[in-house]
Structure 1
């Protein structure tokens, strides 16, 4: 069975490819078996592969998931982090977007305001300079764009279903310097308590399921940021 596997962040750096062509003797092939075979083929990356997630056609796949012949396969490393070319991908309604351009909180808020909603909130995640005694100069974000866009749209739909609240989310990729915004989430709802709850849910869910990675560029060099063990991605703030 011949498959192409997309790679990201530190995993792509270790292997030296953003996409690899791989032939497996096993058929049918499961997601878990693919990780085992890749670990054997690329021993220097085995520890990263072991903790990575497999995505099949933009959806996370358990280890026992079968891999179809023509599926799009990606290996999602558990770190948070640019696309070299200009990127701007959004849903047709403009509520959800992945872009390498500066973010505008007011424009995003305007998309969710409702005459029947008495509360609105904007969460803005920005690049901070100091984390303990470590100084950051900038952050560099990378995303599996089509899947990231689908996942933030999924979050917005869940916010609507659970709280009857409007939600819009934009995430930036590429170089994000100090005090610049990396992610903005706008929410409006009937009442403030619902609005607070829905907004908090959206950012926490984003950190758990959206394939975005973050490289810290600082005085001590460049490093992919390790995640919170409970999340796919690490904290923004």
Structure 2
């Protein structure tokens, strides 16, 4: 079986490529077994591969998921940060987007306002300078764009089902300087209590499932963040 595996962030940096042509004689091949074979073939990257998640056709795959030769396969390392996205991508209604351009909160909020809703919120996550004694000068974001957009839409559907609320989310890629917004989440709901709950749920779910990574750029160098956790961590206010 021949396949091309997409790589991101620190894992791509270690292997030296954002994609990897891989051949396996084993059939069927599961996601777990693929990680074992890759770890054996790339021992320097084995620690990163071990904690990475496999995605098949833009969905996270359990270890026993079978990979077909036609599948789009990616390894999702547990970090945030990285290179600019290959493309900007958004839904036709503009409610969900991954973009290298500055985010517009007023425009995003306008997409969720509803005559039947009495409350609306705009959450803005920005680059913070100090974390303890460590100084950040900028963050650099990378996204697995098609899958990230799919997961943003999934969050929007869940918010609507759970709280009868409307949700729109935009996320930056590329270099994001101090005080600049990396993520914005707009929510509207019939009442303020559900609006607060829905907004909090959206950012926490985004951090957990959306494949976006970042690299911290500071006075002492550059560092991939969150390498010991599957959560997508954000250095925001």
Q: Is the deviation greater in 79-88 or in 90-99?
A: 79-88
Q: Give the CA deviation at 1:69.
A: 1.2
Q: Give the CA deviation at 1:62.
A: 0.4
User: What is the TM-score when the length of structure 1 is the normalising length?
Assistant: 0.97
Aligned residue for 2:29, secondary structure, equals coil
Q: Give the CA deviation at 1:228.
A: 7.2
Q: Distance in 2 between matches of 1:94 and 1:222?
A: 33
Deviations 1:161-217 (A, max 9, x none): 111100000000000000000000000000000000000000000000000001000
- What pairs with 1:71-86 in structure 2 (closer than 5 Å)? 71-84=71-84
- What pairs with 1:84-95 in structure 2 (closer than 5 Å)? 84=84, 87-95=87-95
Q: 1:47 aligns to what?
A: 47
Kept in 2: contact 1:86–1:100 (CA 8 A): no
- What pairs with 1:1-237 in structure 2 (closer than 5 Å)? 1-84=1-84, 87-226=87-226, 229=229, 231-237=230-236
Deviations 1:26-77 (A, max 9, x none): 1110000000000000000000000000000000000000001110000000
Q: Distance in 2 between matches of 1:111 and 1:91?
A: 12
Kept in 1: contact 2:84–2:143 (CA 8 A): no
Structure 1: which 5+ runs fail to align?
Answer: none
Deviation >6 Å, runs of 4+? none
Kept in 1: contact 2:84–2:142 (CA 8 A): no
Kept in 1: contact 2:112–2:166 (CA 8 A): yes
Q: Number of aligned residue pairs: give it.
A: 236
Rate the CA distance shift 1:84–1:172 in 2: closer, same or farther, 3 A: closer
Q: Give the CA deviation at 1:235.
A: 3.0
Rate the CA distance shift 1:208–1:227 in 2: closer, same or farther, 3 A: farther
Kept in 1: contact 2:84–2:140 (CA 8 A): no
User: What is the TM-score when the length of structure 2 is the normalising length?
Assistant: 0.97
Q: Distance in 2 between matches of 1:23 and 1:86?
A: 25
Q: Distance in 2 between matches of 1:101 and 1:94?
A: 14
Q: Distance in 2 between matches of 1:148 and 1:218?
A: 26
